[in-house]
Chain A
């Protein structure tokens, strides 16, 4: 589980098994991959309206629901106009 150590205190993007995307600061994790995210926002992808950003705050996400945790490159992230990205959400992962 050393994989998440290097992402601590940085801005991360979390894809969950139900196909949702959360972005926040990684404040903690454990062996089960449960994670603590601060200043979390959800990015709701939508084929008609572009990405909707929903502010959520402090979140704990249970490890079993996590698919991918990625470190966000701030330069690329800030250069993107999310409201112009029209696409369906990521597919769900069947359990």
Chain B
């Protein structure tokens, strides 16, 4: 099962290596990982999507991450009310004649053309990974020259529903 996990970490050299190394050592499969600074100096936030077989394995992931000294907080936010986004840059083969056709395809996705050359154009799209997949599928027939994705980043919505069926991974359960 795919889980979205966020970690607040101290921005020290080697921290990314610690975390990816740990996930690899414990045989957790990382689908995507994104890292960036937060508003607090010295603190970064990581979002990863991991594929785990069961809840016991998931509990191990969060506990092992929490054990890292540079990791301040780990949350599995999959089952919560969240906003999650990913950005993708897609470079496709395109002549001047095709440009407006492509424009028509990407518009409902609220994607934008950010670079144009003689025989290609580049599209920027943000959204949930499924939306990005859908756009990529639509653009594939034109010939994708290059594709870059940031991986998902996410956090909790400002307001959480009153009743949620959460599986707590707290030790106090």
- Whether A associates with B in a native complex is no
**Chain B residues within CB distance 8 Å of chain A:** none
